[in-house]
Structure formats: C-alpha cells, structure tokens
Amino acid sequence: MSDVAPFKAIRPVRDKVHLVATRPYYSYKKNVLKAKLEDNPFTFLRIINPEFDSPVKTKPNSTERFQLVKSQFEHFRQEGILMQDAEAHLYIYRQSKDDFSVIGIVGGASVQEYIDNDIKKHEQTLTLREEVFTNYLDQVGFNAEPVLMTYDPNTELNQLIETVSSERPEYEFTTTDRIKHELWVLSTEQTNACQQLFKGVDALYIADGHHRSASSVRYAQMKQEKGEETKESAYFLSYLVAKDQVRILAFHRLLKSLNGYDNHSFIKAMSELGSIKPIPAAREPEKEHEFTICIGSEWYCFEPSAAFINHQNPVEQLDSFILSDLILKPLLGIVDLKTSDQVEFVPGNETLSSIEDKIKSGKFQVAFILHPATIDQVKEVADAGMNMPPKSTWVEPKLRSGLTIYQLHA
C-alpha cells in the first residue's frame, strides 16, 4: 500500500509558467545564473537567490538568508505571479525531449511510510546536508522541488494517466534546453481514484532526492516533537513514475593522479586484475562489467576477472563498487569517494569528447567510463536495505523547481 496525498499546489499563473519554472539553481554555471537573474523578473531563481542585486549579503544557509527567501516567495504571491489552488489535487506532469518522455503523478509521499521503510532508499545521506535543508524548510515553509520516486508498473494507473493526459493540459511550454513540459490538474473524482490505485502499489522507491526526502522527514519529526505538526507536514512533495520510464545513466570518474604510477606501469598493474586491451577510439562500455579508460591520448577496454565479482551481493556486483574495490582503493589510494579531492564525477549525459578534453588539459590523468546500472539493480539494492556507492547513478528526468510548490502548513 502506498499513501499518496493530494495538496493545494502553489503554482505559476498560466501566462508566466514558462518564465517561473526553472532548473535547480546549483545546476547553472555562475555566468548563466547571473544572466537569468538579471533578465527574467519572474524566474523562481529570484526567490531562491533573493540578494542577487543587493550590495548587502547574508551568509549562505543562514536563518537570515532563508527569511529573505520566504519574503521573496510571499512577494511573488502578492504580485500575482504565483497562485494557489483552492482545493487539494493530484497532478500529472509529462516531460519530453527527443526520444525520451516520462509521465507521472505529482503528490505528497508519506513521512510515516518513509519511516516504516515502505518507501525504499538506496543511498546514504549526509547529516549536515539534512540539517541545512530541514532548517530551510522550517524557515521558508514550502518545498518547490519534488523527490523522484518509482514504482512497479500498474495497468490501471497507466490507464488513468493516459485518459487524463489525452485532454488539453493546464500548462504546455518548452524550455530553452528543448524539453517540453505539460501539467494536468486532476479533478476531485480523478484524484480520489488515483489515491485508491496507489493503495495497490506495494512500495515506492526513491530514484533521486534522498537528501530532500530525509530532510522532509526530519522536519516532520521536529514539528511533531514541538506539537506543531500539520496535515501537510506528514507528506513531502514527490513525482511518482513507473520504473520503466526512468532513465539511468552512469557517473564516470576522472582522477587527478595515478598515485605514483606512470601510464605504462598502471596499465600493467590493471592487466593483473583482468583483461585490458587498447581500442582505436573513445567509446562507452558495451556491457555490464566492462569499463573503458582514457589515459593520455589512449583508450583501453578493461574487463575484470570473474573471480573479483560477487554476484550474490546486490551492491558488490555493481560496476561502481567493482571499480572502487578493485582499482580506485588498492591502486590509486581513493579510500572514500565522498571526501577525496582527487576525483571528479561526470554524469553520463556529457560527451566523451568533453572528458578527453579534461584529460588533455592536464588537470586529470585518467578517466574511467562506466556502464550504467539498471533500475532493477537499484530496486534490488533498496529491497535489501543496502546502499549504492556514491555517485552510482545519474537519473533522468531532472525536475523543474517552482512548477508545483508544496506548502508545509495550511
């Protein structure tokens, strides 16, 4: 059973939605972020960055900064840029680009089900990041970026989504990254039907947003301890899609040093761990347990010996684990990926030529290109109550902030 709650979304008015909704601020380069803040008075980035044109600056992640975020949010509401639905709804959101399209339900996921592990996780969270975002939620009183969740495909849910999405959407717009966005507001009858159908879904799986969900749960527990809990704080903003719609790409690893090896001796050391051979040009791995490697201007294909792969353990059979356990730790001295300053992670949507350029620049000496994990592997790790190594998956879709804002109190 999965408890999915409707909510009264605060969302952009129709004629400004394409100007308000935005990628998370941290995904922009500084110069692009500055240009967007200067040129677009309606972007949600102005709420998150309330001091961009002020000579007086508060400290990042401070209570003072968060209060300014809240004030700017209220200003957007007063100006009529944002409005709130009078009734609680579930929403359908579709994102499309080229050959990739995903559609699912926006609603509230249950804090209690997270605590009871009916919402499954596959990633450890950092306490400090949890604390910062919990304080943020407490100060600003809203959440604007959904947690991405998956579930096993459900025929009746698919039919409901198909029926609603055949109608004209409330929002339909395309952003400059050529992604088309559509949003439908479910009627009360459709919302109730959708809630009932989710009760037949055994479990939800967090695909992206572990820190956001953990922080929301921490916030709810804090409010409960103070006797200040609300109906809204018992849930957190989520986007729920069938697992067959999520796309998982790899996170590649670039290393600054070969830890005392030169190129020749490093290749020799790897040859003792499996099969390594030169390849004529850059390419991604063609199968699981195959890695392609760039050293200098040369490319190699590496396959570890079967003896080094533990197929009985859902984590230890992951390529991200094999790479760390077999090569990064013993050969290159990378003990902890979370704290090492020798590693850069490159998402799988970046080109291999850009990775080659980073090697040629001299900043990095070697790049390891990984084959992506599957959603079933993610699910298997989560069902076992285990955690994947850091940066094991780059998950799409990446969601917009400010499209359906979840208020944490009535």
Q: Dump pLDDT digits (tens) for 168-224.
A: 999 999 999 899 999 999 999 999 999 999 999 999 999 999 999 999 999 999 999
| Same domain (yes/no): 106, 158 | yes
Predicted pLDDT at 126: 79
Q: Tokens representing 231?
A: 């109906």
pLDDT digits (tens, 9 = 90+) for 113-124: 999 999 999 998
| Same domain (yes/no): 218, 262 | no
Residue 302, domain member (yes or no): yes
User: Rounded to an integer, what distance in angstroms lies between the CA atom of residue 383 and that of residue 119?
Assistant: 10
| Same domain (yes/no): 159, 18 | yes
pLDDT digits (tens, 9 = 90+) for 138-173: 999 999 999 999 999 999 999 999 999 999 999 999
Mean pLDDT of 328-348: 93
Residue 226, domain member (yes or no): yes
Look up the pTM and report it.
0.92
Predicted pLDDT at 57: 87
| DSSP codes, 258-307 | -TT--HHHHHHHHHTTEEEEEESS----SSTT-EEEEETTEEEEEEE-GG
The CATH number that applies at residue 350 is 3.30.1760
Predicted pLDDT at 301: 98
Q: CA 260, 262, 263, 268 torsion: positive or negative?
A: negative
| Same domain (yes/no): 311, 351 | yes
* 26 vs 111, residue with greater confidence: 111
Total domains present in the chain: 2
Asked if residues 151 and 2 have their Cβ atoms less than 8 Å apart, the reply is yes
- Residues of the chain with pLDDT > 70, as a percent, come to 100
Residue 204, domain member (yes or no): yes
| Same domain (yes/no): 191, 50 | yes
Residue 400, domain member (yes or no): yes
Q: How many residues does the chain have?
A: 410
User: Rounded to an integer, what distance in angstroms lies between the CA atom of residue 240 and that of residue 108?
Assistant: 10
Output the average pLDDT for the chain: 95
Q: pLDDT category, 45, cuts 50, 70, 90?
A: very high
Predicted pLDDT at 58: 93
pLDDT digits (tens, 9 = 90+) for 376-389: 999 999 999 999 99
Q: pLDDT category, 410, cuts 50, 70, 90?
A: low
Q: What are phi and psi of 135, to 5 degrees?
A: -65, -40
| Same domain (yes/no): 121, 227 | yes
- Residues of the chain with pLDDT > 90, as a percent, come to 91
pLDDT at position 59 over 70: yes
Mean pLDDT of 337-361: 93
Q: pLDDT category, 28, cuts 50, 70, 90?
A: confident
Mean pLDDT of 303-320: 95
The CATH number that applies at residue 98 is 3.90.1530.10
pLDDT digits (tens, 9 = 90+) for 244-302: 999 999 999 999 999 999 999 999 999 999 999 999 999 999 999 999 999 989 999 99
User: Rounded to an integer, what distance in angstroms lies between the CA atom of residue 324 and that of residue 311?
Assistant: 16
Task: Please enumerate, as own/partner, the contacts of 329-334 that have beta carbons within 8 Å and a separation of 24 or more.
Answer: 331/259, 331/261, 331/266, 331/269, 331/270, 332/255, 332/257, 332/258, 332/259, 333/259, 334/255
User: Rounded to an integer, what distance in angstroms lies between the CA atom of residue 145 and that of residue 212?
Assistant: 9
**Does the N-terminal peptide bond of residue 50 adopt cis geometry, omega within 30 degrees of 0?**
no
- Element at 109 (helix H, strand E): strand 100-110
pLDDT digits (tens, 9 = 90+) for 363-377: 999 999 999 999 999
Q: What are phi and psi of 381, to 5 degrees?
A: -65, -45
Asked if residues 252 and 346 have their Cβ atoms less than 8 Å apart, the reply is yes
Mean pLDDT of 92-115: 96
| Same domain (yes/no): 103, 18 | yes
| Same domain (yes/no): 109, 183 | yes
| Same domain (yes/no): 127, 63 | yes
pLDDT digits (tens, 9 = 90+) for 269-278: 999 999 999 9
Please give the residue range of the domain that contains residue 81: 4-246+396-407
Asked if residues 123 and 40 have their Cβ atoms less than 8 Å apart, the reply is no
| Same domain (yes/no): 201, 266 | no
| Same domain (yes/no): 59, 120 | yes
Asked if residues 354 and 257 have their Cβ atoms less than 8 Å apart, the reply is no
Residue 382, domain member (yes or no): no
Residue 156, domain member (yes or no): yes
pLDDT at position 81 over 90: yes
| DSSP codes, 59-82 | PTT-HHHHHHHHHHHHHHHHTTSE
Residue 378, domain member (yes or no): no
pLDDT digits (tens, 9 = 90+) for 313-326: 999 999 999 999 99
Residue 390, domain member (yes or no): no
| Same domain (yes/no): 335, 351 | yes
Q: pLDDT category, 131, cuts 50, 70, 90?
A: very high
User: Rounded to an integer, what distance in angstroms lies between the CA atom of residue 83 and that of residue 171?
Assistant: 14
